[in-house]
Amino acid sequence: GSSLCVSALCGFWMASGSVSGHTSLTSEYNASESGNSAALDCSDPACQAALDDVKDDKTATSWALFGYVGNTDKLKVVETGEGDLEELKEELSDGKVLYGYMRVSSGAGMYKFVAICWVGEGVPALRKGIVHTHNDVVMNFFKYAHVRIDARCEDDLTVELVNKRVVAAGGANYDSRGK
């Protein structure tokens, strides 16, 4: 069933909630500081512009999807959109690693930000390993997210799951009424 599709990499976003040991918010990762062999370059101004659009609730842009330039360790904007999670999911590919950032309404004009790490089931093992080393860097680039979700297949990324996680991240749930 769909529950078997949960990523073996689940938890690497969750474990990095404090951006373990990285206090710098620079857009380029210094591999020599951590011993990682692959540096992630997030310096493309288009990446920052897309991220800023999602964070700005005065813009229609509600999500941005980032991926690698070819087989490099340079981040690029893959797509942005004004729709919902279903629209973002249309851009996901089984053979790619993608990082999504999405603004979702939590009611009463308030917004929460959702970070998504998509590692398609067809991604080669070497690239999957690099995702693990790049995870802190991407979160550092996003700066903050209320909810982080790891996904390997579309069943891992549902509107119901995102809504449940957003409600849980919102603190007191006054609508639950003991349910």
Specify the pairing of strand 75-81 against strand 63-68: antiparallel
Per residue in 3-19, pLDDT (tens digit) is 333 332 333 333 333 33
Tokens read off for 57: 């609730």
Helical packing angle, 125-142 and 45-55, nearest 10°: 60
Q: Please report, in angstroms and rounded to a whole number, the separation of the first and last CA atoms in the chain.
A: 27
Per residue in 149-175, pLDDT (tens digit) is 999 998 999 999 998 998 888 765 555
Specify the pairing of strand 63-68 against strand 97-107: antiparallel
Per residue in 109-126, pLDDT (tens digit) is 789 999 999 999 999 998
Strand order in the sheet with 110-119: 75-81, 63-68, 97-107, 110-119, 147-151
Confidence of residue 139 (pLDDT cuts 50, 70, 90): confident
Q: Is pLDDT at 178 greater than 60 in this prediction?
A: no
**E strand or H helix that includes residue 45:** helix 45-55
DSSP 57-116: TTSS--EEEEEESTTSSBEEEEEEESS-HHHHHTT--TT-EEEEEEEEEEETTEEEEEEE
Question: For residue 21, what is the DSSP state?
Answer: T
Tokens read off for 42: 């997030």
Per residue in 37-55, pLDDT (tens digit) is 468 999 999 999 999 999 9
Q: Is pLDDT at 70 greater than 60 in this prediction?
A: yes
Tokens read off for 24: 């710098």
